[in-house]
Amino acid sequence: MGRTFRTKVAGVTHNNSDGTSRQDILRKCTNGEYILLQRDYDNAFDEYAITVLRETKEQIGFIPRHVAFRHPAMNDLAPHVDQGGEVNARIVALIGGECDIEIEVIGSDGGKPYQLKEEEARDLRDKAKTLEKSDPTEAIRLYRQSLVKMLKVDTLIRETHFFKNQIAELGYDLGTWRRASLPIERITALLEKDKRYTECLEEIENYEKVRDWKGLSKTDMQAISKRKDRVKSKITGDDKQ
């Protein structure tokens, strides 16, 4: 889900830095043609600049400044892209040397993009929790899917321009914005209960290699540490699973 709106492309009468005429490029465009919106972080005149490109990477102009950014509290286009948000755009009108485009801002109606992706991971985790007793195998599968998605949330956040810019401004690493903890304790608890000791130990050791920016609670860390010792004992003691 998202929002869709129309806007004119700004700067269509100017030439590009390589000397190509944007008007000449526009004459090659067609109604309904999908185009690319790309942040121009090196723009010396506008830190929120967004270029409008054909799929051939020919530039036809810019998103108007008031559309790209208005106020920090508003969910504008440039911050949405900076935070990993997706957009689709296409040409809807070519009249008198001007160009109107339609923009679909994906996932703009329920929070920042990384929050929406984390919500997907939390939904999987919550569903897994309801299946722990009735279908532990399925619960483990869903918990694992949730864990993978949460790690992808960390990657998304840390690769965004917005995150890197905040680190530069603050002078220190923010760590993470992910609110949910990885469900590693529940995965290993179910594996141990099912006597899948080798698999349980592997899951713990794999987690220990991960950079978990959020971290686990003290209680979960203690539970996992004790579980690791127990399953090691089971494996080396009787090696029967």
Identify the pLDDT of residue 112: 66
Task: Please answer whether residues 215 and 185 qualify as being in contact, where contact means their C-beta atoms are separated by less than 8 angstroms.
Answer: no
- At 123, give phi and psi (nearest 5°): -65, -40
Q: Mutual orientation of helices 136-159 and 184-193 as an angle, nearest 10°? A: 160
Question: To which H or E segment does residue 19 belong?
Answer: none
Lowest mean pLDDT among 9-23, 26-40, 135-149, 152-166: 152-166
- The total of other beta-carbon atoms located within 10 Å of residue 168's CB is 8
Lowest mean pLDDT among 6-15, 130-139, 156-165: 156-165
Q: How far apart are CA 215 and CA 221, in angstroms?
A: 9
Stretch 155-172: mean pLDDT, rounded? Answer: 76
For 51, what's the count of Cα atoms within 13 Å in the CB-facing half-sphere? 17
Each domain of the chain, given as residue ranges in start order, spans 2-106, 113-237
- The total of other beta-carbon atoms located within 10 Å of residue 121's CB is 22
pLDDT at 146 over 70: yes
For residue 39, the cross-strand partners are: 50
For the chain, the average pLDDT equals 89
Identify the pLDDT of residue 241: 44
Task: Please answer whether residues 190 and 132 qualify as being in contact, where contact means their C-beta atoms are separated by less than 8 angstroms.
Answer: yes
pLDDT at 113 over 90: no
For the beta sheet containing 98-106, the strands, ordered from the edge strand earlier in sequence to the opposite edge, are 2-8, 98-106, 86-95, 34-39, 50-53, 59-62
Identify the pLDDT of residue 179: 84
Identify the pLDDT of residue 56: 95
| Among candidate residues 106, 81, 213, the one with its CA nearest the CA of residue 160 | 81
Question: How wide is the angle at C-alpha 38 spanned by C-alphas 34 and 41, nearest 5°?
Answer: 170
CATH of region 2-106: 3.30.70.2330
pLDDT-based confidence at 106, cuts 50/70/90? confident
- Tokens describing residue 196: 């899948």
Q: What is the pLDDT of residues 55-73, one digit of tens each?
A: 999 999 999 999 998 865 5
Identify the pLDDT of residue 74: 54
pLDDT-based confidence at 109, cuts 50/70/90? low
- Tokens describing residue 147: 């864990």
Q: Residue 201 contacts by C-beta under 8 Å, 6 or more apart in sequence?
A: 228, 231, 232, 235
Listed ranges 2-6, 163-167, 191-195; the one with the highest mean pLDDT: 191-195
pLDDT at 75 over 90: no
Task: Give the rounded percent of residues in the chain with a pLDDT score beyond 70.
Answer: 92
Q: What is the pLDDT of residues 23-42, one digit of tens each?
A: 999 999 999 999 999 999 88
Return the higher-pLDDT residue of 180 and 159: 180
